[in-house]
């Protein structure tokens, strides 16, 4: 006989990102792979598009559409580590590399960061998490 479950009786999966476990974008991707791709024989690529894709679920530790609580600990450190300087370095790398990156777009974004009014990597990443309705993101200082 099947077990009857509803959304109120099932415990929501919880994933904890610890900002103390990384200090730059590369380390962030490694931490995300460790947490979200646990048990998989492949890793998420180091890109924000890949991050967005795995947050839908079905690629790692939770199913597509499954409701998940993500607790990001030590966000004050992450906000600094993924702040203006790391964002600037990321944009400069993309401009230098050129194809497949939209150099003009990243030159504009770099200018915004240098003028103090562009989104940092931390801002962009938290926005990506919040765009997923199945993810409840909690930022802990």
- Give the tens place of pLDDT for each residue, 1-59: 444 444 444 578 999 999 999 999 999 999 999 999 988 889 999 999 999 999 999 98
d(CA 6, CA 124): 33
Contact 60, 72 (CB under 8 A): no
Q: What are the boundaries of each domain within the chain?
A: 16-59+67-81+136-140
- Give the tens place of pLDDT for each residue, 112-127: 999 999 999 999 999 9
Strands in the chain per DSSP E: 13-18, 68-73, 135-139
Question: How large is the angle between the packed helices 121-130 and 84-97, nearest 10 degrees?
Answer: 90
- Give the tens place of pLDDT for each residue, 72-105: 999 999 999 999 999 999 999 999 999 999 999 9
């Amino acid at each position: 006989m099947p077990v009857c479950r509803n959304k109120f009786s099932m415990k929501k999966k919880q994933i904890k990102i610890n900002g103390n476990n990384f200090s730059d974008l590369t380390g962030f991707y490694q931490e995300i792979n460790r947490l979200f791709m646990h048990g998989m024989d492949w890793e998420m690529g180091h890109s924000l598009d890949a991050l967005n894709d795995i947050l839908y679920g079905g690629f790692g530790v939770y199913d597509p559409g499954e409701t998940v609580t993500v607790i990001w600990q030590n966000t004050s450190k992450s906000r600094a580590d993924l702040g203006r300087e790391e964002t600037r370095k990321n944009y400069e790398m993309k401009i230098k590399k050129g194809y497949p990156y939209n150099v003009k777009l990243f030159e504009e974004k770099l200018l915004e960061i240098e003028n103090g009014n562009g989104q940092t990597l931390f801002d962009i990443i938290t926005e990506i998490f919040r765009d997923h309705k199945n993810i409840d993101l909690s930022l802990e200082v």
